[in-house]
Amino acid sequence: MEDRLKRAARTVVVMGALLALGACVAGSGDSAHAASGGFLAQFFLGLWHGFIGPLTLIVEVINRFAPHLLPWTAHLYEGKAQGAAYDVGFYLGLAGSPVLVWSRRR
């Protein structure tokens, strides 16, 4: 019983953290503000966008085929982030995305 409670609590915490961090998906106001930052801000923004890239792609496809199904829009790549720092971070994030890490474990 305790294991179930711990697992449920862990799941709730992880989902809450993902939802909070999801506010910085590409195309949001927070993301555009961070893209105007310096080299390090763009690198970490690209890293985050690459990391959540597989999930963002699913949201973008849903929005394309059923535009009013989800209450938000998301883009795979931040158009306002220009520079090598964002690009390098984005591709490093894609390489370490949860989908790829999970598939390697099996």
The pLDDT tens digits for 29-64 are 666 667 677 888 888 888 888 888 888 888 888 888
The pTM of the full predicted model, rounded to 2 decimals, is 0.68
Residue found under tokens 């080299």: 39
Residue 100's pLDDT band, with cuts at 50, 70 and 90, is low
Range name among 10-14, 22-26, 64-68, 82-86 with the lowest pLDDT average: 22-26
